[in-house]
Amino acid sequence: MTQFLNAKENIVTEAIDGLLAVSGDKLSRLDGYPHIKVVFRTDWDKSKVALISGGGSGHEPAHAGFVGQGMLTAAVCGEVFASPSVDAVLAGILAVTGDAGCLLIVKNYTGDRLNFGLAAERARALGKKVEMVVIDDDIALPDLPQARGLAGTLFIHKVAGALAEAGESLERVTNIAQQVNEQVSSIGMSLDTCTVPGSVKEDRIAAGKAELGLGIHGEAGVEQVTLDNAKAAMGKMLEKLNPHFGKGNVVALLNNLGGTTPLEMSVLANELATFSSNNAVKYVIGPAPMMTSLDMHGFSLSVMSTTDEQLAALQAPVTLVSWPGINALSQIKVATLPDGLAPVPPIASSDTGTHNTISAICDLLIKSETTLNQLDAKSGDGDTGSTLSAAAKSLKHNLDKMPLADLTQLMPALGNELSQTMGGSSGVILAIFFNATGDACARGVSIEKALAEGLTRVSEVGGAVKGDRTMIDALEPALELLPSGIAGAAKAAREGANLTSKITKAKAGRAAYVPEENLAGHNDPGAEAVALVFEGLASL
């Protein structure tokens, strides 16, 4: 099993029933499964203009997830990436349309346009007032005679929904919806294609590349670009969208295409906010999955230049869980640390030898990032190298501010620096180690004995001892031989690190939760890091 699904044939109907089951009786559906899949509001007042949208499934929460007060009246769902039938659309129209009429909001795909269009004609023949707006917000393929409908469709859902809820006429709701469509532009980017249930996944996007301008059904985009980082990705998107910014407050809709982690989406939101300090974007909807493409690892960005009335409609509150709301971009507010927690900067003092030694060790840890990450992936979460590298970069940057000429001050300064720049338990352990070492140095103890006292304190607080498959397995034997010279200490550290590959039952750290077969033959990453440091010191 690669997906949490039952039978491919029942995916959409089971998903709809799951949505209804947790809706708190706010949603219902028409009978007619599996061919007619219409979700509608149970509290609908037919004296108001009905809004109906829909299309193929696989874009959840769109469209059924936006059925509710202030947005859609009903959603007509097709199979995955397939338009619903004419009969299904007609059933939806007839179910919710009263004398005030109905507006169909349709994305510009041939199947949707034809099926919704024919259903509208049949409904009119039955005496219903029906209008249709076709959404074509995609700007990725400028030479395409009919642009596709993307996540910008949600702007129309929200603005038209607010107007319909307020009791506006069908003519006015339709006119405003058409205006909004003309003011919306969208483009998408993805690192991978999506997985269509029951189909072989297309392997189209090369490693290290991102596809710009692909559609919400996985259709190929306009180009594949080299992906450097999130900043470059957001910059490329805004470069394409900037010519489409109009007058008024620009609202951006940051949409997760399904497989992008919330962490990544927040990074992209930060880049959007950073770029927006130099452009017209004033408000943001999201980041959130709103119109997805199954599990596609990508995002889309839609922008709309709003009038005051349209902005007010976007800001109108709704109770829908799937709608993330709209917020103004603002300066990041930073409060000072509570008294006693703000770090006291050490008094800098210079020592060329100490500076060069610490700098060399920092360079070694930065260079070893990939190797240590690969080791940690066997027994942990694969970030030991990244954690040490990040701390080493910060330490090297702040080295000139350190009290390098005084070990009694340098050791706690190192501990404080690492506790702030290293995440997880590693930063705490090293902070304890260096602070205890500094305390010993202040009593006049030799550096070799002071380091040994630091290790003792780490074992007392952390509970790990030699043989538990941690950094102590390399650090303890190295410190025991340090009084005899750094070469012997480095050899002992290496032997200790290598012995951890034979310890298949860890008693501390994340490795304690890892099956024995995963540990056999692989050094503990913390012990390996200690060995690399001592070997580096021996080579200076």
| Residue range 98-157, pLDDT digits in tens | 999 999 999 999 999 999 999 999 999 999 999 999 999 999 877 766 789 999 999 999
Q: Where are the alpha helices (DSSP H) in 340-423?
A: 352-367, 369-379, 384-397, 407-421
**Set 217, 297, 355, 397: catalytic member:** 217
Question: Which residues, 6+ apart, have CB-to-CB distance to 150 below 8 Å?
Answer: 107, 137, 138, 186, 187, 188, 215, 216, 291, 300, 302
* Interior angle at CA 148, CA 144 and CA 152, nearest 5: 135
Question: How are beta strands 249-256 and 102-107 bridged, if at all?
Answer: unpaired
Q: What is the dihedral sign for C-alpha 337, 339, 340, 343?
A: positive
The closest of 358, 459, 369 to 413, measured between CA atoms, is 358
Report the side by side order of strands in the sheet with 249-256: 223-226, 209-212, 184-190, 298-306, 249-256, 281-288, 326-328
DSSP state, 443? T
Token digits of residue 400: 């000139």
* Interior angle at CA 101, CA 95 and CA 102, nearest 5: 65
**pTM summary value:** 0.78
Q: What are phi and psi of 187, to 5 degrees?
A: -155, 150
Q: CA separation (Å) from 118 to 73, 90, 124, 131?
A: 20, 9, 10, 12
What is 197-230 written as a DSSP string? TTSPPP--SPTTEEEES--TT----SEEEE---H
Q: What pLDDT score was predicted for residue 159?
A: 98
Burial class (CB in 10 A: 0-12, 13-18, 19+), 424: middle
Q: What pLDDT score was predicted for residue 205?
A: 87
Q: CA 63, CA 56: separation in Å to the nearest integer? A: 9
Question: Which residues, 6+ apart, have CB-to-CB distance to 154 below 8 Å?
Answer: 62, 66, 253, 255, 285, 290, 291, 302
Question: Which residues, 6+ apart, have CB-to-CB distance to 192 below 8 Å?
Answer: 205, 259, 296, 297, 298
The closest of 407, 404, 395 to 364, measured between CA atoms, is 395
| Three-state SS at 137 | coil
Identity (one letter) of the amino acid at 102? C
* Interior angle at CA 473, CA 468 and CA 479, nearest 5: 145
Question: Which residues, 6+ apart, have CB-to-CB distance to 136 below 8 Å?
Answer: 108, 146, 147, 148, 149, 181
Token digits of residue 318: 């709704």
Q: What pLDDT score was predicted for residue 507?
A: 61
Q: CA 469, CA 490: separation in Å to the nearest integer? A: 18
| Three-state SS at 188 | strand
Instruction: For the chain, list the domains and their CATH numbers.
Output: 1-135 (3.40.50.10440), 183-195+208-334 (3.30.1180.20), 352-539 (1.25.40.340)
Q: CA 524, CA 506: separation in Å to the nearest integer? A: 10
Q: Is 217 a catalytic site residue?
A: yes
Give 27's strand partners.
Answer: 41
Token digits of residue 118: 């024919």
Residues 454/479, Cβ–Cβ less than 8 Å = no
Q: CA 213, CA 185: separation in Å to the nearest integer? A: 12
Number of residues written out for the chain = 540
Question: Which residues, 6+ apart, have CB-to-CB distance to 528 below 8 Å?
Answer: 371, 372, 375, 474, 497, 500
Q: What pLDDT score was predicted for residue 186?
A: 95
The closest of 20, 110, 38, 107 to 78, measured between CA atoms, is 38
Identity (one letter) of the amino acid at 426? S
DSSP state, 243? G
- pLDDT tens over the chain, length 540 residues: 578 989 989 999 999 999 999 999 999 999 999 999 999 999 998 999 999 999 999 999 999 999 999 999 999 999 999 999 999 999 999 999 999 999 999 999 999 999 999 999 999 999 999 999 999 999 987 776 678 999 999 999 999 999 999 999 999 999 999 999 999 999 999 999 988 887 878 888 888 889 998 889 888 788 888 888 999 999 999 999 988 887 778 999 999 999 999 999 999 999 999 988 666 799 999 999 999 999 999 999 999 999 999 999 999 999 999 999 999 998 899 988 887 766 666 787 888 889 999 999 999 999 999 998 888 887 667 788 888 899 899 989 988 888 988 888 988 888 888 888 886 677 788 889 889 998 999 999 899 999 999 989 988 888 888 887 888 999 999 999 999 999 999 999 999 989 988 887 656 555 554 555 666 778 888 889 999 999 999 998
Q: What pLDDT score was predicted for residue 172?
A: 98
